[in-house]
Structure 1
């Protein structure tokens, strides 16, 4: 396996056109050895660049160096999150820490910084890479005095280690809860059968989403919902609260090393939003819309709870653990949509094949399965082929189902970036934790969303690997995938599902309309929750270090539901312990852009002509241009928030 890894690197350096490249399945020992070798080789090549001992343009040498390191670190990164063997995951995490140290030393190298500064760009793409690299050098502290530069390096290494521990505590929490008797009331028969619950028996569940989501939507016993909700929101443990507080403290210190007042200021200057002041205005505008919409939703659901319990309205408060249950009751009563019953309409593997077909039609592709080495028997691999030229563009792995020790959420991992300069094809890995039998409406949308991230990676055709795929600004990166969620809703694309679901019940026109109504019901509550998460993240990183748990309790106490006693949500909020720190607002910011970009498709959502434009102007370009420039090019105008505000109010229909 080591020889194979080295062969990939040497073939790339020689400029040889690639055959199919797949991810190596490494043991823990192979990870340690290959990581050390790749980083040592990368450091040597960096020194050659710094000393001017490189053939050809400096930026070309940089690209070859970064690609050779990614050949090892990319595969190791995904194995650290999904491999069934804990020793492999642990070795992967250790390699990632070593890579963080390598990357920091790279961007703190004054001679290398000077070499990049002296580059004379040949065109706009070169100029963008030079600008991006100089920003990365500045952010790493290359211009800081030696003592502060050393401290910056130490902080970045510690942050990587703390972030891994934070994620590991959630990923490897195997706590089980048992419910029985009246606690099982309301749970669907299919859910009980799936968990082998016999009449009069007990139900044992963990924190995987196929366990948690259906329970919270369906269990009519409030105390059971409260118990599960509390445990789920403590799954990071007390240690994660301590880790998060340390992470916040270190990030504040890091911003201070750069002469800035807050980590939010440090981060936002590099994003589309541009500044703390502009984000504050955005959150204020969104907050005004969500508060109004949320108040109406809460009033409806609180009245439902009062009627359900036979109590006066003034004696009833809607609690955090009531939200999913009463939203589901509201949807069933108003739109006659039962989320659990939808699993029969959306079998998981049929949905997978449907998404592949929709994507292929939209972007002019073929997805061809191939038998390649994988880390678990559930994983499948596809070659991504251009439909018109027959060229193999990239590779895509799908790892769809939960298992012990696996990453618990849904994400697309861009493990290998494109570089047309080197004839280098990209690879993405889509990781989810779906029910094997079928999906709800929200889970279908999640599948489309994450697949959109994967497509952003595998359709990348950038000159340089540093610009590949989802390397765009963090507050734009969600936009292409959020836009793709619409294909899960429109009648035109839903009609294509039947070709991949022989024998499944067919969604009729009225059912599709009701699904759209159900999606929009309680949208005010949903977006108010997103606004709360974004505001909490912003406050945590905009102010001097404080207890994340105390701030969360303070902020949730001001919501219509109040703080849920004994819960420790910040300890499970992986986004803000990781790369979305001071960036969670990006989900709403980018959704506003996504909904606006949909206007280009008009009423025909399955539109290969517009799809090809989107592929070429957005997906293929990675970060070769700024996100704002790409969006303006695609729309032919500046983006607008108007459609997003309609979505918050539940006034935007996806059914044309």
Structure 2
């Protein structure tokens, strides 16, 4: 997603009134309303940009250039932000389509503004008053440079065309996935092993057939529990063909366009162009990190594969078996049930909804010194809930939080946090975030609870921001740091100290005791090497597509996946489903593991007390509140009192338990 006005997983919006007074979102009922808001936002941006352009160079300063640009940003996003969000979540496809069109129009305007030499010169001419001003100036100059403002005219025009086309193709890729309406029918004989609760909550027909869609809440429980291997294979193939040839073609175009864009700046690869703005600095650091991951995981993956293969042999009664990709989740589930007595579906009773929302908010309240106050406000769907977020000690309202937690047709199919207002202490602007997930209504599995904590971590990164400038608010940090606070916060989903507080919000929930937490932890780590091996594969594939040599996306994927322990399944097209690298994570997927290494290192500060509010509020002040006002490495150093190190992450990889099969 675009990292200028519409930041990755961020929406900046306003529902009328002064920005400092509102944290709710304007709701659009029609495509025409989206178009009007988009027109107004684009017009406001053009007008504000013209005012900045008229500033004499020798009078360019913090107030009339830097603060004015931040005002432009806020005025534009106040009107366009709701359209962006509702392109992903609105129940009406016409509204979603209009929002998608607005995103594309906004991208074109952004490129125009950042390619304007007069605006660039005025930002250059500013003498910052302090570090926050300097951070915004540095941020803006990077955006200008990445848009090609300093290139010769012909190359600048080509950069403009490339940037616009890259954004349009990325949005089309996502829309193709979001609007996928494939439905698979599974008869009664193919439902053996599926939990009754799953069968009851998914669509069916009068003949007892299940009608499952390409949604995670349908796919994962089916793959983990369906005893019919042929049925699992059918779902696996369909799920790994979402997007189809259309998205493969888009990925091929994106690879070529990004390489050409990097070449305009003198870089031999898009990876080199992109990583220079991140913590790693260059591709060689990424490759060294990935090589260390691969070396650490190699023997562990082999052992885990052998373990699951033996389990399949016992289950099928055959001596010679091969573990297929659609077998992995099924036999991992059997392993967790038999060895650790952890049945993911049965665990939903320990983590019922909506009680888990109350608990997640309770943890955040205690850790960060907050108070969440439910409020009735206009929403885009009846499932959506809204909360004012207050500082517990002062009772000052910090911002707002929307929760859109359950699946529906046309909704964004993954989990994400959209920042809805960027904070600005200068403008008295309060931050707001929207959390979008696709959880079942009955309850969460341990993995889903971990996802909830991860995504609420993103949302809180936005809501707890107190930056001077909205453009540096929340998750406007280096891309390979943006996941770190969320990766850290996942730990609260599987540690006894936090889980044993569930009765405070859910007295009737089955208890989560030390024995259960230990078994959950062992279960969570089962299959860990294969999981991280898959993450390595995604990151390696991403870096190769962003490398100096042109590659065919499907050919390269087939080669890389074929070399993994489970191999490649002919006829599947996973790259057509890989929305991350079609969007803002191109040459950046490694950031998930990189950020987890940072997150685990930061987690070490809580070793003496996971629910320690003193440490939690120090993290809030030194990391979450600061957004992109300082480099991420400095924020981590402020919090830990030392430079970061990846030891905890690689220790986690090495400790993946592989016990002999019984």
Q: Which band: TM-score by shorter chain? A: over 0.9
Q: Please say if residues 155 and 250 of structure 1, whose CA atoms lie closer than 8 Å, have aligned partners that are also in contact.
A: yes
Structure 1 residue 450 corresponds to structure 2 residue 425: no
Q: Distance in 2 between matches of 1:604 and 1:385?
A: 24
- Structure 1 residues 221-232: aligned runs within 5 Å: 221-232=228-239
Deviation at 1:8, TM superposition (A): 6.7
Q: How does 1:495-510 map to 2 (within 5 A)?
A: 495-510=500-515
* 1:69 positional shift: 0.7
1:437 aligns with 2:442: yes
2:286 is aligned with 1:279: yes
Deviation at 1:182, TM superposition (A): 3.2
Structure-2 residue corresponding to 1:628? 633
* Mapped contact 2:336–2:523 kept (Cα < 8 A): yes
* Corresponding position: 1:192 with 2:199: yes
Q: Which residue of 1 aligns with 2:583?
A: 578
Range 361-370 or range 502-511, more displaced: 502-511
Q: Which deviations, in whole Å up to 9, do the C-alpha atoms of 1:442-468 show, x marking residues without a partner?
A: 000000000000000000000001100
Post-superposition Cα deviations, 1:489-534, rounded to whole Å, max 9, x if no partner, equal 1111101112222422212221111001111111111111100110
CA positional deviation for 1:38: 1.6
Q: Aligned residue for 1:642?
A: 647
Structure 2: how far apart are the matches of 1:443 and 1:210? Answer: 10
Q: After TM superposition, give the deviation of residue 319 of structure 1 in Å.
A: 1.4
Q: Is the 8 A contact 1:475 1:583 kept in 2?
A: yes
In structure 2, relative to structure 1, the CA distance for the partners of 1:160 and 1:199 (3 Å cut) is closer
Q: Is the 8 A contact 1:179 1:203 kept in 2?
A: yes
Consecutive unaligned residues in structure 1, runs of 5 or more: 13-17
2:461, 2:485 within 8 Å by CA — same for their partners in 1?
yes
Cα-Cα RMSD: 1.8
Mapping for residues 51-450 of structure 1, pairs under 5 Å? 51-52=54-55, 56-195=63-202, 201-312=208-319, 315-450=320-455
Q: CA deviation at 1:296?
A: 1.3
Structure 1 partner of 2:5: none
TM-score, reference length from structure 2? 0.94
CA separation of 1:229 and 1:651: change in aligned 2, threshold 3 A: closer
Deviation of 1:614 (Å): 0.3
Contact map agreement 2:371 2:392 (CA 8 A) in 1 = yes
**What residue is the counterpart of 2:7 in the other structure?**
none
Tell me the CA shift for residue 21 of structure 1.
Answer: 3.0
Q: How big is the shift at 1:650?
A: 3.4
Q: How many residue pairs get matched?
A: 641
Question: What is the rounded CA distance, in whole Å, between the counterparts of 2:512 and 2:550 in structure 1?
Answer: 51
Task: State how far apart, in whole Å, the 1-side matches of 2:553 and 2:117 are.
Answer: 37
CA distances 1:58-113 after superposition (whole Å, capped 9, x unpaired): 21111111111111222211111000011111111111111111111111110111
* 1:549 paired residue among 549, 554, 557: 554
Is the CA contact (8 Å cut-off) linking 1:523 and 1:647 kept in structure 2? no
Aligned to 2:42: 39
Distance (Å, rounded) in 2 between the aligned partners of 1:9 and 1:201: 50
Matches within 5 A, 1:432-581: 432-581=437-586
Cα offset for 1:57?
4.1
The question of whether the paired residues in 2 share the 8 Å contact of 1:317 and 1:561 is answered with no
The structure-2 alpha-carbon separation of the partners of 1:523 and 1:440, relative to structure 1 and needing over 3 Å to count, comes to same
The CA deviation at 1:334 is: 1.5
Deviation of the 1:184 alpha carbon: 1.3
SS at match of 2:126: coil
The 2-side partners of 1:235 and 1:143 are apart by 40
Q: 1:15 is matched with which residue? A: none
CA apart distance, 1:599: 0.8
Q: Which of 18, 21, 35 lines up with 1:19 in the alignment? A: 21
Q: What is the rounded CA distance, in whole Å, between the counterparts of 1:328 and 1:405 in structure 2? A: 30
Q: Is the 1:408–1:433 Cα contact (8 Å) retained in structure 2?
A: yes
SS in 1 for 2:426: helix
Distance in 2 between residues matched to 1:109 and 1:569, nearest whole Å = 39
Give SS of 1:422's match.
coil
Q: Distance in 2 between matches of 1:105 and 1:588?
A: 35
Following superposition, the deviation at residue 19 of structure 1 comes to 2.3
CA–CA distance in structure 1, aligned partners of residues 561 and 642 of structure 2:
39
1:368 partner SS:
strand
The answer (yes or no) to whether the contact 2:297–2:653 under 8 Å persists in 1 is yes
Q: Which residue of 1 aligns with 2:33?
A: 30
Provide Cα deviations, 1:516-567, integer angstroms capped at 9, x if missing partner. 1111111111111100110011111113332211111111111111101211
Q: TM-score, normalised by structure 1?
A: 0.95
Q: CA deviation at 1:384?
A: 0.4
More moved, 356-365 vs 37-46: 37-46
> What are structure 2's unaligned runs of at least 5 residues?
1-11, 658-662
